[in-house]
Structure 1
Amino acid sequence: MKFTLFVTQQCNLRCTYCYIDKHQETMTVSVAKKVVDFIFKKSIIGQEEINIGFFGGEPLLEFELIKEITSLIQNHPFYHNVKVNLSVVTNGTIFSDDIAEFINENDVSFGISCDGPPMIQDQFRVLVSGNKTSDIVEKNIRRAKKALPNVMVNAVYKPETLKYLPETVAYFSSLGIKQIYLNPDFSAAWTKADAEALPGVYDQVGQLYSKYYRQDNSHFISLIDSKITVILRNGYGESERCRMGDAEFAFTPKGNIYPCERLVGNGQNDHCIGSVFEGVDQVHMSCHKAADGEMNTACMSCGLKDYCMNWCGCSNYMASGYYNRVSPFMCASEKAAIQTSFNVFQTLERELGPTFYEHAAGKLMTNSLSEHYN
């Protein structure tokens, strides 16, 4: 089960593609207590491992609040009844020894959002003043890498930056980052030409992945590894598919509940399914389920449907305006990613035999930071 806490909607950046509404609202401790109670009630009913993410805004603007909420979680009566994984995703402008100590002591997964080399980062991820961010973010990535065992980077790519995706991967690798999440901006105006460019760009990323592995310098690259994992499993498992509003919830600073963190920031209350004070509105939730219940007819007849993220309601909504309608770009992206990953797997398995198969089947399945966090 996945729970995302918007500890604050304040942010010190003004990213051009951000889907989060900017407000001065910050979660109070009393709301946080209600959120934590909601989480554990849901997890006990479902008897599932739970993933709790601190998000924003910029969550580390409220570092003391994050520490307090973590204490609430760890001291909850049900804490030892279920496995709890904590994570935080930051824009990389804030880092300190105290933050590193907290992350290490509490075994928190730590992700930094950075879109790539300075020429990309400074075009789309700027300070409120409009000033560039690449210097401070790169400095903090290096600091975090030294202080923390596993630092993950989340990069969003757009039509303008698609062709630089291999350079972005190489840039992060040069900083010592070995866990790289690549996420398209589904709300962008992707064209047919962009879709046609995907196989070539993704293949270049696949070549980098293979090169690193051959050099005994393996990287987790979500574009490749997530699909290799799915290929080995013969498709997505039920627990991996989008279960927004059933096993996935996001909470605003006021305690309102949304079925996915990507649906919080679009300014439409239509996606709100309740609050921690009144619970989930089952009538409203059933409307969401009805809207999300039927797969596209085009997807139904596709041979890749079991390996594709056609079930991701929030990505579909951002791209097409419908929970259950896959956009042409997403369809092209999924096909290209599946083909590239299959080629990488076949090549490395042929070259290395059981060594790569065991690596792919074991280690790579254990990485749990959500790709939703941009």
Structure 2
Amino acid sequence: MSLTIAKKIIDFVFKNTPSEEKIDIGFFGGEPLLEFELMKEITELIENHPSFKNALVELTVVTNGTIFSDEIADFLNEHNIGFCLSCDGPPFIQDTFRIFSNGKGSSIDVTNTIKRAKEVLSSVLVNAVYHPETFQYLPQVVEYLASLGLKRIYLNPDFSAPWSKKEAELLPEIYGQISRQYIDYYLRQKPHFISLIDSKIAAILREGYKPLERCRMGTGEFAFTPSGNIYPCERLIGADTGNGHCIGNITDGIKRERMFCKTEPGKEINAECLSCSLKDYCMNWCGCSNYFSSGYYNRVSPFLCASERTAIITAFNTFQALEEKLGSVFFYNLIEAHTANCVTGE
């Protein structure tokens, strides 16, 4: 990305964000740390912008964990840039999908990065993606990541994978095992943030997802490519041909006629979603997840429905079990954990 394009993007971000609304700016790829020097220059542009407010702007980088150094760590700490690393779990899982071009697995490099990052960074998040071939190992994934000292664990399915009814039927047992791990961590006074549980508990406590947490692709959420093309979500960029999901270019602006991807509350194609008692706690509004799993921005696939329903019920049962065991101690610890750990609306 040229600095000229980067500056236009930054101007767009500050111009189009309400004055007191939080701004999340993330460095994505590919692998963003391949362009570490450029990342430093763009960060300088952001922090020197006339509208920059330190308290309202959060910077993050999402990396595959194969590149790390003391220089990178110093820069991230100096500029308070959140560090999220992708690791799908133990070597036998990580090396199934995340391999180098020569066929070598990445697990050794990523594990070394995790260990080093834990030593030198104030906070390290990890994102584990699971597939039909690996989701039955999710409890082992959680245990492995926890064994590396990671306390903030995000679990996300690959919705573009061919999920079937068979996997959906196994969800209660798999999620139930993770619930038992979560409870055990709390009882041993070593609580972990596990998105599968915590995000739903938070939604339940708040009586549903709030407007700023829901999908705002193309209205309050944008992704920008090196060419300057604008997309409603980074997951929808693909090869950046300027077609498909592209809604404009930073030089010419957003083309409103391309805003076909916009999702609106209550506009789900699935009639059953409108009458579902769990709809306020469900991510039926996530446009990119819907698209990759069903082919429509506003149609929920059978697997996403099953996963969300199971996660909501599992989270409720988990909360109830811990409240019975720990009472108000658990509740206040949970609130404190969410205040510290819940970032970017997840």
Note closer, same or farther for the CA distance 1:230–1:344 as it changes in structure 2 (3 Å cut).
Answer: same
Note closer, same or farther for the CA distance 1:271–1:292 as it changes in structure 2 (3 Å cut).
Answer: farther
Please say which of residues 84-93 and 261-270 is displaced more in the overlay.
261-270
Please say which of residues 78-87 and 247-256 is displaced more in the overlay.
78-87
Cα offset for 1:276? 0.9
The equivalent of 1:277 in structure 2 is 251
Asked if 1 retains the 8 angstrom alpha-carbon contact of 2:215 and 2:263, the reply is no
Which of 186, 200, 206 is 1:233 aligned to? 206
Q: d(CA) in 1 for partners of 2:173 and 2:112? A: 32
1:359 and 2:333 are equivalent in the alignment: yes
Please say which of residues 267-276 and 224-233 is displaced more in the overlay.
267-276
Asked if 2 retains the 8 angstrom alpha-carbon contact of 1:49 and 1:83, the reply is yes
Cα offset for 1:283? 1.9
Which of 214, 222, 230 is 1:257 aligned to? 230
The equivalent of 1:18 in structure 2 is none
Cα offset for 1:46? 5.8
Which of 158, 165, 171 is 2:131 aligned to? 158
The equivalent of 2:170 in structure 1 is 197
Q: d(CA) in 2 for partners of 1:343 and 1:368? A: 21
The equivalent of 1:182 in structure 2 is 155
Which of 63, 66, 77 is 2:50 aligned to? 77
Partner letter of residue 338 of structure 1?
I
Asked if 2 retains the 8 angstrom alpha-carbon contact of 1:228 and 1:360, the reply is no
Cα offset for 1:360? 2.2
Identify which of structures 1 and 2 has the higher relative contact order when contacts are C-alpha pairs closer than 8 Å and 6+ apart: 1
Cα offset for 1:82? 6.5
Q: d(CA) in 2 for partners of 1:80 and 1:360? A: 29
The equivalent of 1:104 in structure 2 is 77
1:340 and 2:298 are equivalent in the alignment: no
Tell me, which stretches of 5 or more residues in structure 2 are unaligned? Answer: none
Alignment of 1:299-318 (within 5 A): 299-318=273-292
The equivalent of 1:66 in structure 2 is 39
TM-score by length of 1: 0.89
The equivalent of 1:31 in structure 2 is 5
Give the SS at the match of 1:35: helix
Partner letter of residue 272 of structure 2?
A
The equivalent of 2:22 in structure 1 is 49
The equivalent of 1:86 in structure 2 is 59
Asked if 2 retains the 8 angstrom alpha-carbon contact of 1:293 and 1:324, the reply is no
Tell me, which stretches of 5 or more residues in structure 1 are unaligned? Answer: 1-26
Q: d(CA) in 1 for partners of 2:111 and 2:97? A: 15
The equivalent of 1:209 in structure 2 is 182
Cα offset for 1:270? 2.2
The equivalent of 1:13 in structure 2 is none
Give the SS at the match of 1:239: coil
Asked if 2 retains the 8 angstrom alpha-carbon contact of 1:166 and 1:201, the reply is yes
The equivalent of 1:130 in structure 2 is 103
Asked if 2 retains the 8 angstrom alpha-carbon contact of 1:50 and 1:82, the reply is no
Cα offset for 1:361? 2.7
Q: d(CA) in 2 for partners of 1:238 and 1:366? A: 21
Q: d(CA) in 2 for partners of 1:371 and 1:116? A: 24
Cα offset for 1:265? 1.2
Partner letter of residue 345 of structure 1?
F
Asked if 2 retains the 8 angstrom alpha-carbon contact of 1:255 and 1:277, the reply is yes
Cα offset for 1:291? 8.5
Give the SS at the match of 2:21: coil
Give the SS at the match of 1:80: coil
Q: d(CA) in 2 for partners of 1:89 and 1:250? A: 14
Cα offset for 1:229? 0.2
Q: d(CA) in 1 for partners of 2:103 and 2:295? A: 31
Give the SS at the match of 1:329: helix
Note closer, same or farther for the CA distance 1:228–1:104 as it changes in structure 2 (3 Å cut).
Answer: same
Q: d(CA) in 2 for partners of 1:353 and 1:302? A: 30
Note closer, same or farther for the CA distance 1:337–1:266 as it changes in structure 2 (3 Å cut).
Answer: farther
Partner letter of residue 69 of structure 1?
I
Q: How many residues align?
A: 344
Give the SS at the match of 1:270: coil
Q: d(CA) in 1 for partners of 2:331 and 2:114? A: 31
Cα offset for 1:256? 0.5
- Cα deviations across residues 27-56 of structure 1 (Å, max 9, x unaligned)? 11111111111111112x464100000000
1:248 and 2:224 are equivalent in the alignment: no
- Cα deviations across residues 91-129 of structure 1 (Å, max 9, x unaligned)? 000000001101111111101101000000111100011
Q: d(CA) in 2 for partners of 1:222 and 1:80? A: 29
Cα offset for 1:358? 1.4
Taking every aligned residue pair, what percent have the same amino acid on both sides? 58
